[in-house]
Amino acid sequence: MSRIKVMTVFGTRPEAIKMAPVVLELAKYPEMITPVVAVTAQHREMLDQVLSLFQIEPHHDLDIMCKGQTLFDITCRSIQGLNQVMAQEKPDIVLVHGDTTTTFAGALTAFYHQIAVGHVEAGLRTHNKYSPFPEEMNRKLTGSLTDLHFAPTGTARENLLAEAVGPESIFVTGNTVIDALKATVDPAYRFADNILQQVDYATLKIILVTTHRRENLGEPMRRVYQALRDIAAEFSDKVEIVFPVHKNPLVRKVVQEELGGVSQVKLIDPLDYQPFANLMARSHLILTDSGGIQEEAPALGKPVLVLRDTTERPEAIEAGTVKLIGTDREKVYAATKLLLTNQAEYERMSNACNPYGDGLAAARIVKCVLWKYGLTRERPGQFCGGK
Ligand code: UD1
Ligand code: UDP
């Protein structure tokens, strides 16, 4: 039987979390697939946390991250490094994920080598070029270079069809983040971290916060942190705010200025995925500008207030578990206060729902690759949720 070489390319924390199930699935078919893992390491520590949790040892590590890197740095360094890796490995297909600059650079480099591209988490759109920046364009540009589109939901499929992508190249798979989440959340999990062990989960309402979006750097983030300070002061005996702060020095500076030393606010380093996912499961509500967390929290029945003006993930908003509130200080304060004081509103938003996946996305993606290359006759099934 002939074999194919499948190269996965990723570089940041969320790509690693969402590609890990695919990497592990590819390894299950050694007689048909030669897997190659190439990481740009656009993130260093935050990528390594995920690689070690899922025990993935990349065949190629470009180690491109530098402090305060610009989009130009990431793009140029990724393309130069991936050019050499792809020239050497000559894969049949390159799988990229999502919307980062690594994603776009991976797809572009594969295209220059005339290697097929598979896009995992394809078809998400805000239709706003600058929000999120640069992710919306990274997705669109990657989509233009893609041969196999793995759309997580029916909505994502429709976005691609509206851009005249051929239906035969789109497969609705569910989102691999739900595969990763299901493998990670465990009610019996015990935090190793002292700070997390000492949090009073039984009597306090835990508000989990993350922020990192480029378009929120500076004043928008400052306004959010000021709103959190207001909440911490008003509900000092009822809430604990836990904030794993992104490694970006521009984020950390403003966080320290506004929230350093505020009691009821625990500022900690980014958590490994296992404690983070289990912390989500024990939180009361989540404030975030993250993309992935908007997909995970609904599966855990946790209300999410999204600190952004747009989202490419409308499914959970439609289901009522996610609300888009932006970064205005008053609005963030009011939306958070509402969920802390109005039980009916809280219950309305905390219904668990799973529009993004069923935990089988990676298996569908790999089956689809095998089918496309004629290595199996079994036509891959598709994920029916999300629309
Ligand atoms: C990147 C992605 C974004 C994704 C996010 C996930 C782009 C343009 N942005 O944004 O789409 O949502 O990752 O978190 O692709 N840093 C460290 N150690 C790390 C990681 C980051 O020190 O492990 C610091 C570095 O100083 C780095 C800075 O954070 O220069 C920013 O990292 P970068 O990848 O450029 O942007 P993110 O905001 O993380
Ligand atoms: N996450 C994590 N540790 C943290 C914060 C987030 O493991 O301290 C996980 C989270 O569960 C989700 C992913 O990182 O799977 C989201 O990454 P991020 O918010 O950085 O990027 P985005 O999803 O916005 O691209």
Quick: pLDDT tens for 91-117: 999 999 999 999 999 999 999 999 999
pLDDT score of 379: 84
* Ligand 1 proximity of 249 Cβ (cutoff 6 Å): yes
Q: Which residues of the chain have pLDDT under 70?
A: 1, 386-387
Ligand 2 centroid vs 182 CA: distance in angstroms? Answer: 15
Choosing from 15, 25, 61, 121, the catalytic residue is: 121
- Nearest to 148, CA basis, from 365, 379, 377, 298: 365
* Ligand 2 proximity of 244 Cβ (cutoff 6 Å): yes
Residues in the chain: 387
Q: Is 0.95 topped by the overall pTM?
A: yes
pLDDT score of 211: 98
Helix axes 13-26, 292-300, angle to 10 degrees: 70
Which protein residue has the closest C-alpha to ligand 2 atom 3?
271
pLDDT score of 353: 85
Domains (range + CATH), the chain = 4-175+357-373 (3.40.50.2000), 194-351 (3.40.50.2000)
The mean of the pLDDT values for the chain is: 96
Choosing from 15, 25, 61, 135, the catalytic residue is: 135
Choosing from 113, 214, 222, 252, the catalytic residue is: 214
Report the nearest atom of ligand 1 relative to the CA of 74.
35
pLDDT score of 354: 87
Structure confidence by residue, pLDDT tens digits, 351-381: 888 899 999 999 999 999 999 999 999 888 9
At a CB cut-off of 8 Å and minimum separation 6, what does 338 contact? 345
Is residue 214 part of the annotated active site? The answer reads yes
Cis-peptide into 249, omega within 30 deg: no
